[in-house]
Amino acid sequence: MRIIHLSKILPLNLFLLLLLFGVAACRGNSRTAKKLAQDSQLAQESATGKSLDGGFTFNAVTLDQTDERGNPIWKIKAKQAVYSNNNKIAQIETPIGDLFQDGKLLYHVTGQEGEVHQDGQKVFLKGNIVATDIQNGVVLRGNELEWRPQEDILIVRNQLTGTHKQVDATAQEARAFSRAKRIELIGKVVAISKQPTLQMRTEHLIWEMQQEKMFSDRPVQIDRYVGTAIADRGVGDTGEVDLKTKIATLRKNGQLNVLDPPLQISSDLVVWNVEAKTVVSDNPVRIFHRVQLLTMTANKGRVDLEPKIAYLNGNVYGVGQRPPSQMRTDKMTWYLPTESFEAVGNVFYKQIDPPLTLTGPKAVGKLKDQTIVISGGSDGGRVVTDIIP
């Protein structure tokens, strides 16, 4: 940066005043937007400097702002700053700067151009924005940046992308809150966690940095990828992903479509442990086998995707479409690969062709084959019934 010694071209009293403002000298050209207004007025009155379109131009300048305690709020270097007395805004060219909160460095920012308001409480940058979160390692890129230090909010918008060691994201806008350690992504949000590869799509995503969680209060879609192909897909009115535990949770009309085994699991609460390969719901749940055409409902349930076993508890009700059949019981273990089951407690079975109804305390069998074994009669003896159409 070129240093201009203003003492050679300005009267001594003006130079001392400008020096007090931190305009120039070997210590640097540091000034707030308000100081730019004062400096430009003094310089114009002394017929020095260069006026451009009703403003005053400062070259190779550093602008800064501090709070009432003297802590830095922001500090920006610019190739050029033009202050307009009309709108009280300093236009800056090729800004490179640092943004602070509570005296701590938060972000390093760059852009092509920008503006600083005279009150010093708003900074706008435009064009090829890069904002690096020093503490959390998030890098936000876009074409517009807005810094509101009193509100503790950094906004990056217009073709937004974000990168982090855990997540890559795109959206229309990002809002970062440093004290809360939270980033909100707004509009056409696509966030991809890297381990495992989960993609979240929604209109509003809240990323809690310290808790390592992402959640949405809007309809959300969560896809698990194997390579470039989608293996499993979950949707819900709301949802979240715990980046640390690798657990995705879908709430309110939650539905998870699993590739292997070919299941559709629906509930107002679906807890999907991607790493452990389990799906759990403590709310009423519905499980539909897309190949067997068999539907099971229960008060709650669990599916182990490996070794492909479903556990259903409370008011278990099963309906087979091929052939038509029904079953009720208190508790069921459903072995998905063999299409067999074990039922315990108040077993009721009904088939249409040939027509038959069975009841008993326990049962094993296959609904597809209409082969059911009922055991545990009321007299204590073992009753076995085979139905083979």
Please give the pLDDT value at position 249: 98
Which pLDDT score, from 0 to 100, does residue 22 have? 37
The SS3 of residue 211 is coil
In the prediction, which pLDDT does 188 show? 98
Residue 25 pLDDT: 32
The CA distance from 71 to 102, in Å, is 7
pLDDT of res. 1: 39
Supply the pTM of this predicted model.
0.82
Give pLDDT < 50 ranges for the chain: 1-30, 44-52, 381, 384, 386, 388
Q: How confident is the model at residue 28, as a pLDDT?
A: 38
CA distance 40 to 84: 9
SS3 134: coil
| Torsion sign (Cα): 234, 199, 250, 260 | positive
pLDDT of residue 319: 92
Whole-angstrom distance, CA of residue 92 vs CA of residue 105: 21
Closest to 247 measured CA to CA, from 218, 226, 278:
278
Task: Please tell me the predicted confidence (pLDDT) of residue 8.
Answer: 29
Cis geometry, peptide bond prior to residue 323 (ω within 30 degrees of 0): yes
pLDDT of residue 215: 97
Name residue, tokens 């657990």.
Answer: 247
3-state secondary structure 254-301: EEEEECCCCEEEEEEEEEEECCCCEEEECCCEEEEECCCCEEEEECEE
The architecture in CATH of the region 284-389 reads Sandwich (2.60)
- Select from 64, 137, 77 the least CA-distant residue to 106: 137
Residue 389 C-alpha from the chain's centroid: 54
- How distant, in Å, are the alpha carbons of 147, 298, 389 from that of 301? 48, 7, 31
- How does pLDDT run across 20-60, given as a tens digit for each residue? 333 333 333 445 555 555 555 555 444 344 444 556 788 88
Q: Where are the domains of the chain?
A: 284-389
Confidence at residue 377, expressed as pLDDT on a 0 to 100 scale: 55
Query: How many CB atoms within 10 Å of residue 252?
Result: 12
The candidate with the shortest Cα–Cα distance to 78, out of 61, 102, 55, is: 61
DSSP label at residue 2: P
